[in-house]
Structure 1
Amino acid sequence: MGPLLDAWRLAVGTLTAVPVAPPRTVDARTAGRAMLLAPLAAAPLALVVAGIGLVGPEVGLTPLVTAVLAIAGLVAGSRALHLDGLADTADGLTASYDRRRSLEVMKSGAAGPAGVAAVVLVLLLQVTALTSVLRQDHGWLVAGVLVCLSRCSLALACTRGVPGARPDGLGATYVGSVRPLATVSIWLGSALVAALLAGLPGLLAVLAAAAAVVLLLRRAVTRFGGVTGDVFGAAVELSLAALLVVASA
């Protein structure tokens, strides 16, 4: 139970603002388990989004205002960690064709024009798509579940065989920590959940999210030589955007 508890604490403490005791041990095995637990660890964030989506219309808020508040709650609940990764990844991809220079830009932490544009555009996409989702029957429930499913992207990004861009940094412990079979299993599980919840559109949403993450990882490996913690964050945000866009249709 100890290793699993450490993985749970690592997942919750890293991916949410929920206060938990620190894990006693953080190694590659614990990190891999934490990434597999990420969809469950995101349950508090899903409850925030679903709760706002349910209560908003009851107090007279429009779907657009409700969606903005829901996404704002999600950002606050994750301490904007994934948005920071999205911004740094976008800056790195546009900074230079030199790998070392791109990694230096990403490590600096300062958001450049590309990073700001990426955050604004992805947030607009998420809010607009969520507005449509909330108009659907039980849209608040669908939105909450999609928040959890978007965290499956972390297992894919940490799959063994996906190289790391550098030996240090926040993501170094997580790189290659998830077995391919575990990644396939968690995505098949997410596809089943989505299909049971929303039928064919739910299944298509999961496929779109997986495709978006794969394209991001391929680009990161080509440009940076591998993935970083920032790429993990970008994967989460792009996955959620893809899920919401397809579900909104």
Structure 2
Amino acid sequence: MSGDERRTSALALALSWLTVLPVRTGAPSARAAAGALRWAPLVGAGLGAVAGLLVWGLGALGVPGLVAGLLAVGVLALGTRGMHVDGLADTADGLGCFGPPERALAVMKDGGAGPFAVVTLLVVLGVQAGSLGAQSGGHAVAGAALAVATGRAGFCWVARRGVPAARPGGLGALVAESQPAWVAPAWWSVLAAAGYAVAGWRGPAGIVLAALVTVALSAHTARRFGGMSGDVLGAAAELGTAAVLLLLAA
């Protein structure tokens, strides 16, 4: 397979995994899965731009900012099949339970939403909605695209080399240790430059906050769960997105 074909396969896989777009792909190879994570920030930027356009349009119609922000967060959840939101909820419940890593992983796999999940979702999605709703016009589009892209850049840190999969099978096992340690910082650097063009100092500050949150989350979950999982990828995406939006709305 040529280099162009490999890149196309990785992008198609990223679109298939991370959006509801009906992109057909075969069984993913380890190479394509690793490439898909590196495409994730660009896919996220597209999703964020859609959410920002919705906020912009609803604002022009006189819809209150918080309502517009809540609807935009809902669109983002629909556009990703709720996968990242579910990962955030499961990670919160896993971190909130007592017992060894096996117990935490069992709680996460159960699929129910416990009190830690409910509170975490209310806070994180509430921050996203309120911060989105506080922006207007083209700033809403650019800010949402930046924030969602930054959240997805966190995938590359969570799946960096040296952090094994917490359990066999699933997305986490497929992408664990697939990313060189420099990939996520490289994405954060590019996004920080873009953020300065979008929002002055608030842009880079948001990227730095998102990076710190992602690094802390990855370190804590690797200790608590014995490695990374697909749920942690989702948690990193939602927390990173919220961090950037919060700073942009400051």
Question: TM-score range, shorter-chain basis?
Answer: over 0.9
Selected match of 1:17 from 9, 17, 20: 20
Q: Which residue of 2 aligns with 1:120?
A: 122
Query: If the length of structure 2 is used for normalisation, what is the TM-score?
Result: 0.93
Identity between Structure 1 and Structure 2 (%): 37
CA RMSD of aligned residues (A): 1.6
Question: Does the Cα contact within 8 Å between 2:157 and 2:183 map onto a contact in 1?
Answer: no
The residue aligned with 1:5 is 8
Query: Hey, what's the Cα distance between the residues in 2 that align with 1:137 and 1:49?
Result: 12
Q: In the alignment, which residue of structure 2 is the partner of 1:34?
A: 36
Q: Determine if contact 2:154/2:184 at 8 Å carries over to the other structure.
A: no
Offset at residue 136 of structure 1 (A):
7.7
Q: By how many angstroms is 1:128 displaced?
A: 1.6
**Matched residues in 2 for 1:222 and 1:173: separation?**
20
Instruction: State the shift of 1:135 in Å.
Output: 4.4
C-alpha displacement of 1:137:
6.8
More divergent stretch after superposition (156-165 vs 86-95)? 156-165
Structure 2 residue runs of 5 or longer lacking an equivalent are none
Task: Find the aligned partners of 1:67 and 1:229 in 2 and give their Cα distance.
Answer: 26
Q: Is the 8 A contact 2:161 2:177 kept in 1?
A: yes
Aligned equivalent of 1:236: 237
State whether structure 2 residue 119 is matched by structure 1 residue 84: no
Cα displacement string for residues 174-218 of structure 1 (whole angstroms, at most 9, x for unaligned residues): 111111222222221111111222121100000000001111111
Residues 49-60 of structure 1: pairs in structure 2 closer than 5 A: 49-60=51-62
- Farther off after superposition, 83-92 or 142-151: 142-151
| Structure 1 segments unaligned to the other structure (5+ residues) | none
> Any idea what the Cα deviations from partners look like across 1:110-129, whole Å, max 9, x if unmatched?
22121122112211111122
Counterpart in the other structure of 1:207: 208
Given that 1:39 and 1:150 are in contact with CA atoms closer than 8 Å, whether structure 2 keeps it comes out as yes
Aligned length: 247
Contact 2:59 2:136 in 1 (8 A): no
Aligned to 1:191: 192
Distance (whole Å) between structure 1 residues aligned to residue 182 and residue 88 of structure 2 = 27
* 1:234–1:46 distance in 2 versus 1, CA, 3 Å: same
Q: Which amino acid aligns with 1:206?
A: I
Tell me how far 1:71 sits from its aligned partner: 0.9
Amino acid at match of 1:129: S
